[in-house]
Amino acid sequence: MKKIIACLFALPLLHSVAAWAAPEYKVSSTIAIGGEPRWDYLYVDSELHRLYVSHGTQTEVIDTQTNKIVGTIADTAGVHGIAVANDLGLGFTSNGRDDSVTVFDLSSLKARNTVKVGGNPDAIVYVPGSHRVVAFNGRSKDATVVDAKSGKVLGTVTIGGKPEFAQVDPAGLVYFNIEDSAELAVLDPSTLKLTHRYPLKPCESPTGLAIDAQQRLYAVCENKMMVVSAPDGKTIAQVPIGSGPDGVAWLDGYAYSANGADGTISVVGTGTDGKFHNLSTIATAVGARTIAADPATHKLYLPTADFKPAENGGKRQGILDTFRILVLDNK
């Protein structure tokens, strides 16, 4: 009888542990790209089975079904981000070095035209409802709104701080982090106005941003913290994560923070108590600081390279021809 009672008492504990278990992602393959070890964001187009990767002065296009490079978008100097408008058959890159956005054809991967925007465009998003592209300019501390169909600049929105990654909600509002003021802001691309600014402190230098189906926002911060916010800006949770995060992705009920300094991913989700926790840590590689998720295949992608030892306390330099994409599967 005592053994039966012991087992009965153990059942709730086992249930709790199982409920806290996070997906067990592992690096399943590597896509070798080579060349200069320079990159920033990457973007998954599930509809066309493509992965777009920023790569210094060009943008690589990978077939996610074969893990092969199928094209290169040239002359995207200092490219940071990629946005795709499948309904228009167009794609867009933010080119930080020459303050421009390249508009390219999704079928041919050829550039159609170049649009001048603000200083050092970084994050870029496409808003389907209004057919507008928003480029967030780090040096001029503003956002350029472009008509996606015509390529015409519709206006510039002053931010007064350094904008970082951005996400679009179902209503067509654009949420984005402001790095130097540690804020979450909201831009309405239809009216060309900032509608809200919300504090993220004690978060420091927020960069990556993800959004879930409930429109909760997940910002990763330089001081090893993820801040979870409601759509109205209210802070829901502050969760410890790894070191050196720059990107975060939402997939299948979890937020995945890419921690470049640690070479890990922090998996954040809710436990049986209904609160957010750092549920597990996934090994990746040092330098893997940005991330993209494919909701169709449930895979994660992170770019990285090999590095030389740091000299005199400086930054580590990447090694030529070691640039690659890590592919993670939950299998």
* Strand-pair partners of 101: 94, 115
245, pLDDT greater than 70: yes
Q: What is the pLDDT of residues 113-164, one digit of tens each?
A: 999 999 999 999 999 999 999 999 999 999 999 999 999 999 999 999 999 9
The domain defined by 75-199 folds into Methylamine Dehydrogenase; Chain H (2.130.10)
Give the pLDDT of residue 232.
97
* Cα-based distances in Å from 326 to 196, 287, 322: 36, 11, 12
- CA angle 114-116-120, nearest 5°? 110
Alpha-carbon span 265 to 77, nearest angstrom: 29
Domain spans in the chain, listed from the N-terminal domain onward: 75-199
Give the pLDDT of residue 20.
59
pLDDT (average), residues 230-251:
98
pLDDT (average), residues 247-271:
97
4, pLDDT greater than 50: no
Give the pLDDT of residue 316.
83
% pLDDT > 70, the chain: 94
pLDDT (average), residues 182-209:
98
pLDDT (average), residues 95-101:
98
pLDDT (average), residues 314-323:
91
pLDDT (average), residues 263-282:
96
% pLDDT > 90, the chain: 90
Give the pLDDT of residue 216.
98
Closest CA to 81 of 90, 72, 70, 92: 92
pLDDT (average), residues 168-196:
98
Give the pLDDT of residue 311.
79
Q: What is the pLDDT of residues 20-45, one digit of tens each?
A: 578 899 999 999 999 999 999 999 99
